[in-house]
Structures are given as structure tokens and as C-alpha cells.
Structure 1
Amino acid sequence: MGKQVWKPGTMVSPVPPVMVSCGSLEKPNILTIAWTGIVNTIPAMTYISVRPQRFSYPLIKESREFVINLTTRALTWAADYCGVKSGADTDKFSVCKLTPAPASQVGAPLIKESPVNIECRVNQVIPLGSHDMFLAEIVAVNVDEVLVDQNGKLHLDQSGLVAYSHGEYFALGEKLGSFGYSVRKKPKNNPASRKKRLGKRKRA
């Protein structure tokens, strides 16, 4: 089967449809962003790409702060709404019945209903063309306690995160593996190894 060659386009998929909160507790706003990700580990850094025409653009550029709020199945309607409506004439927090809550390190509010809120402080604004990239350092992460077990391990898979792919939202499905599973050695006490050892003993 052959390949069709298309013109350049935004074909990396799926992506996270995060809700970015900005402004202040007194005048908060939300915009939904799909162009985001992690760009560095130490220091922890992320980015969001925003069209200059968006209502939230000057709010973020002037304050140089924002919060990335992860979207769950329960928040999908709100994420979609916040992506198509403008904060210039809509109180998105009110319409979506979301709660602006104080962040720990930045002036922008976080969305209380989101399980993970990533507080960010802008380092650079990089014009790219249709969008400007806000390159930012992650200064704090807020996590719902219900997702953390007694050993301090985060079980983000239990939060019901969603993905966005070419205009559609999808709930994340079954687990296929964990980081490094392709090269991880199987434990010696697994049933297959035990059966093999017993077989060797009988032949001996």
C-alpha cells in the first residue's frame, strides 16, 4: 500500500486539550489549548502556542503567568466551550460552573475541578507565524489528593484524562505498557519460568 503526500500540516496527534487559566482571581479567564507539551526536565519547562487575536493573549503576555489545567472526561464539555467562546463577552467560569482558586506561585487562578494544575511563569515569547509560543518554567504543580496513594505515588490514570485528535475528543483507553517495558527483564518467579525450571529438574 502506498502513501499520499500532503502539504505541511498539524498532523501530530493526539494532543492534550488543556484548559489554560489566566488573568486574576477577580477577572479570570480560560482558553483551551491543544498546542502544548513538555520541552525540558531541569528546570521543568512547558509551552503554549496562542494566536495573538485571542482575548487571553494580552492577559498572558502582560502578566507573564498562566496555569495549565488537565482536562478529564467530566470537563470535556467545558474544554470545548472554552475553546470556541471568547472571554471578551463571556464569563467562562460561570457558564461552565468552574471554580477559580488561588495558585501557590502565580497570580493566575487555577481551575479547582481539574485534577492537575500546572503553574507557569513565562520566560520567552517567540513569534512563529499564526501563533506566538509562550515558553515557560513550571513553578508548581497542584494534584488532587485522591489521586495520590499512601506511598506518594500519583495515579493519574484514575482521573479520566482525554485526548484531542483532528477535531474530536477521546477518552484514554486501556494501558498497553509502561516506560521501559520493551527492554525490561521478566521476573524469574513468573509461571512460565517456574514451569521451565521444573521441566529441567524432571529430565535430570
Structure 2
Amino acid sequence: MSKISWKPGNMIYPLPAVMVSCGAEGEPDNIITVAWTGTICTNPPMTYISLRPQRHSYHMIEKSGEFVINLTTAELAKATDFCGVRSGRDLDKFKETGLTREHGTLSYAPYIKESPVNIECRVEKINPLGSHHMFTARVVNILADDTYMEENGRFALEKTNPLIYSHGGYFETGRQIGSFGYSVKKKKRKKRNDKPKRK
């Protein structure tokens, strides 16, 4: 196997394609599609999104200091793409996509009802990095669709058919091939007094 060398760039794929909803005083709510997002810290729970300063949502989030990360599904793929290629300066994305705005614990930013998980965030810092500025934020509340709650209290996110983004394309998630720690998990030994089952 041989390797070729490329100029430095972002090749960490796949990524979650999320719809970030935001609002600010005196301005219509908006949705922006973001792939530059992820986990920063577990305790306290912190996340980030990175936006270009030219994006319409940038100044709204800067002004209100809050946003909601709405996880997406294969069913929401078309709306997710639309919210990434059209500007909220020109139209109401909630109206155009048929998505439903709801309000949770935040003062301005609504969440998207059709999303299986809504992560409400308050901005703690804006870090100018270059083409994008990173909004680091604390997670203040999570809303989850109880349709996917299992009896043991586990939220079955995989059953929502999460949408992922990879190098310009949207994809559904595939079948599970393992679980955390399965590579080192010891096999259960049969007890000595276990009798073979009759055929």
C-alpha cells in the first residue's frame, strides 16, 4: 500500500450533520447546518460549533449567547441540506422546510421538534481561529424523544437512523459491528457442572 501526500486540510470524517437553531432579540429565528461540531468535555458538559463570521447565524448567536444543536436523521436529510445552502437573510427556514419551532429553557434559541435530540447550549467563549470562529458552550439542557427510550433507561439513538456527513455527502449509519470495550472483553467460561444439552 502506498500513500500520497496532500496539503494540510480537514480529513476527519465522517461527522454529524446537525441543524443549529438560534434566535436573538428583535430578529427572526434561524437554522444553520453545521458539521464542525463535537464534544469538548464531559464534566462539565461542553460542546462547540465553528462558524464563518459571514454566516447570518453568527451575529445572532454572538448577540444572544445561546444556540441549540439539533441532531438529524435520514428523514431530515433534505431539510438539513436546505438549511446549509440557503441563507436566513432571505427566507424563514422553519416555514420553508416545514420544521416546527418549540421553546425549551433558553431565552431566544428555539429547538426543532422533529429532531430526536435537542442540545440546548449557552456560549462561554468565542475563539477566532481563521476562516471559522469556534463557539465553545456549556450544555444546559437536553431534550430527547421518548419514542426511543428503552425500558432500562437507555436512549436508543441508533434507532433514529442518524445522519452523517462525509466529504460533501450525507449518509445513513450502518449496522453495529461492536461495542465499547468488546476487543478486550473476556469470553464467559462454561461452568464445570454445565451439562451438554440433548439434541
Band of TM-score, shorter chain:
over 0.9
Please tell me whether the aligned partners of residues 126 and 132 of structure 1 are also in contact (alpha carbons under 8 angstroms).
yes
TM-fit CA distance, 1:186? 1.7
Please tell me whether the aligned partners of residues 19 and 70 of structure 1 are also in contact (alpha carbons under 8 angstroms).
yes
TM-fit CA distance, 1:24? 5.2
Is the partner of 1:141 in helix, strand or coil?
Answer: strand
Question: Which one is further off, 144-153 or 22-31?
Answer: 22-31
Q: Residues 93-146 of structure 1: CA distance to partner in whole angstroms, max 9, x if unpaired? A: 001000000112453100000000000000000000000000000111100001
TM-fit CA distance, 1:187? 2.2
Matched with 1:49 is 50
| Identity %, equivalent residues | 54
Task: Provide the TM-score with structure 1 as the length reference.
Answer: 0.90
Is the partner of 2:159 in helix, strand or coil?
Answer: helix
Matched with 2:169 is 168
Aligned residues: 194
Task: State the distance in 2 between where 1:106 and 1:119 align.
Answer: 11
Matched with 2:78 is 77
TM-fit CA distance, 1:170? 0.5
Matches within 5 A, 1:52-63: 52-63=53-64
CA RMSD of aligned residues (A): 1.8
TM-fit CA distance, 1:45? 0.4
Matched with 2:129 is 128
Matched with 1:18 is 18
Unaligned stretches of 5+ in structure 2?
A: none
Greater helix fraction, Structure 1 or Structure 2: 1
TM-fit CA distance, 1:161? 0.3
Give the structure with higher Rg (CA): 1
Please tell me whether the aligned partners of residues 24 and 60 of structure 2 are also in contact (alpha carbons under 8 angstroms).
no
Please tell me whether the aligned partners of residues 50 and 133 of structure 1 are also in contact (alpha carbons under 8 angstroms).
yes
Q: Decide whether aligned partners of structure 1 residues 28 and 163 sit closer, same or farther in structure 2, where only a CA change above 3 A counts.
A: same
Is the partner of 2:16 in helix, strand or coil?
Answer: coil
Task: State the distance in 2 between where 1:64 and 1:70 align.
Answer: 20
Task: Provide the TM-score with structure 2 as the length reference.
Answer: 0.93
Question: Aligned AA for 1:176?
Answer: I
Unaligned stretches of 5+ in structure 1?
A: 200-204
Is the partner of 1:117 in helix, strand or coil?
Answer: strand
Q: Which ranges of 4 or more aligned residues in structure 1 deviate by more than 3 Å?
A: none
Matches within 5 A, 1:1-204: 1-23=1-23, 27-189=28-190
